Amino acid sequence: MNKNMKKGLYPYIFLFIFIVACLLLVNGMSNNINELTYDEFIKSMNDGQVEDVTIIPKIRSNIYHVEGTMKDYEENETFVLNLPISEEFISKIVAGEEQFGFKLEIEQDPESASWLVIVLNVLPYVLLIGATIWLFTRQIGSGNKSMDFGKSRAKLMEDGIKTTFKDVAGLTEEKEEVQELIDFLKNPKKFQSMGARIPKGVLLVGPPGTGKTLLARAVAGEAKVPFYYISGSDFVELFVGIGASRVRDMFKQAKMNAPCLIFIDEIDAVGRQRGTGLGGGHDEREQTLNQLLTEMDGFGANEGIIIIAATNRPDVLDPALLRPGRFDRQVTVALPDKNAREEILKVHAKNKVLDKSITLEYLAKRTPGFSGADLENLLNEAALLTVRRNKKAITMAEIDEATDRVLMGPAKVTKKYTEKEKRLVAYHEAGHAVLGLKLDGANDVQKITIIPRGHAGGYTMMTPKEENFNYTKNQLLESISGLLAGRVAEEVEFNEITTGAHDDFKKATKIARSMVTEYGMSDLGPMMLEEPSENTFLGRDYTKNRNISDTVAHEIDEEMRKIINERYKITKKIISENKDLLDLIANTLLEEETITKEQIDYLVKHGHLPKEDEEIEENTEDSKKKKKEEK
């Protein structure tokens, strides 16, 4: 139960306690009252049964109100008597007190303090009614708060954005694309004099963690204009029409502060294609999208308002959102290349204490496919490991361990292998290394370990020798061979196979299918037989017609099988011809459990791992080369 729910229950709890207390008070005040006549009272007094008597004169009514208790009464049992005011009754009572010794008390006229009676009688009802009114008022007040559902959830950065392009490493081309927005916001007349229309919306597209939000913040920081930010999910509510109202209110606020920027993160939450989805559309989201389209480019003009949106799912966005006049420009924020990764590492390494042996250029080369967020996480994990190991600087050992943690998870040191299983894993990983050394197109092995991580019994870190935009057919085939090498090594050494290659087969099959259906690298010819797709879009992909017949689908399977089987034979031949190298790497793994690329290269050249003095000498030569290059 959250705090808000607890606060809402407090008034009801207090009201319940108050009602119970009132009931107990009323129940405690209720007595068993016996009404006596004058004769009955005098007889009981003469018999000595009276214990105490209280006489309350009521002048306005000209009566005595007499009450008291008898000796034989039970608890909370009293008697009451009303009779006209007379001196004779008072005389008898006083005489009886002296004779029988009961307690006598004569009070003043209570009507002189009638306000006290009124307070005592009316106060409980006033409190009860007041508590009820307070509760209803509270509920009505909370109901009125629901009326602000239609208000915009966009937040204005009042203190200004301190992020600039200097804080955005890499993304050189992307920063040039959005530079025009900054120039327009600073000096719009320069563009208006040439009749140029600045884009009303810029869509940042790219994988997660590549810096789309950071780039939008930098644009606002450079332009020094009001900056509104909101998530696409903040528009959509349970009640239909609320999202559209929020869009109207957001643009209304933005017009008051124009020129300004509006940043919508994860716009695919509200900008999905209309009329799609199994079982119909989503009325609230579609109405919100309709209002957004109208505000961006409808009958009204939004001068000085530029919208920047970010998404990693541009394939699901509505076409009307991407047409000119709305999101005029799409800027692809891709994964960084080697040079961009080096710049990103420089930014995140400013407050890190790195060992002198670590060069960011080498680290950038070892991390292809890492996004900016991955690189930041890598250095942070390395810093945490350094503190845990009580070191004064981050060394390559922490970098290696952090890389493994980011990719595969922490090492399972307590998990023990049987000797046979350990040899199987060692030969499997050694097979990948042999193919990486012998084939130019295969991926380069950076590190091998037979310490379990995640669901894997061992782990081989393989990176492309060069980062290319296009790959040749031979490079793809040799990549498949590198993936199949683990299974082949098991078969060559032990004449049996294990389940350890299932992830390798998944990657190899994906490459082979792409070669046949997308790249036209098979006997079926240069044809696009399938469109690449990542995630299924319900309502669209399920209703898509097939472009191929059953015969062609069978031929695709045959071509894939042909590619895989041919590469398997070639891989087996290479492994068999280099059996000595396979044994050398596998036996070294069994002794060391983890070896790096430098150790593998030294092992191939010398037949053993470097000794301490050899390693120092080699590192010294490397450091001399680096110093010469720096000079």
Q: Quick count: other Cβ atoms within 10 Å of Cβ 15? A: 15
What is the DSSP code string of 234-299?
GT--SSTTHHHHHHHHHHHHHHHT-SEEEEEESGGGT-BPTT-STT---HHHHHHHHHHHHHHSSS
| Structure-token pair, residue 409 | 């998870």
d(CA 290, CA 244): 8
Q: List CB contacts of 582: < 8 A, sequence separation 6 or more.
A: 427, 430, 431, 434, 489, 492, 493, 575
| Structure-token pair, residue 454 | 């995640």
Cβ distance 482 to 566 under 8 Å?
no
How far from 613 is each of 135, 505, 591, CA to CA, in Å?
A: 83, 42, 20
d(CA 66, CA 44): 14
Q: What interhelical angle do 473-494 and 579-592 show, nearest 10?
A: 70
d(CA 446, CA 407): 14
d(CA 565, CA 432): 17
Is residue 429 part of the annotated active site? The answer reads: yes
278: Cα within 13 Å, side-chain hemisphere = 6
Q: List CB contacts of 138: < 8 A, sequence separation 6 or more.
A: 11
Cβ distance 202 to 329 under 8 Å?
yes
d(CA 266, CA 399): 32
Say whether 475 sits in a helix, a strand or coil: helix
d(CA 396, CA 569): 38
| Structure-token pair, residue 394 | 């981050």
Q: What interhelical angle do 550-577 and 473-494 show, nearest 10?
A: 60
d(CA 409, CA 152): 41
Please name the helix (run of DSSP H) or strand (run of DSSP E) that holds residue 77, with its range, or none. Answer: strand 77-84
For the chain, how long is the longest CA-to-CA vector? 139
From 177, 295, 398, 429, the catalytic residue? 429
Region for residue 241 given its phi and psi (left: phi exceeds 0; alpha: psi -120 to 50; beta: otherwise):
left
Cβ distance 83 to 61 under 8 Å?
no
How far from 382 is each of 271, 292, 404, 410, CA to CA, in Å?
A: 39, 44, 11, 13
Sort 425 into a burial class: Cβ within 10 Å, 0-12 / 13-18 / 19+: buried
Cβ distance 381 to 406 under 8 Å?
yes
Region for residue 463 given its phi and psi (left: phi exceeds 0; alpha: psi -120 to 50; beta: otherwise):
beta
Instruction: List, by residue number, the catalytic residues.
Output: 429
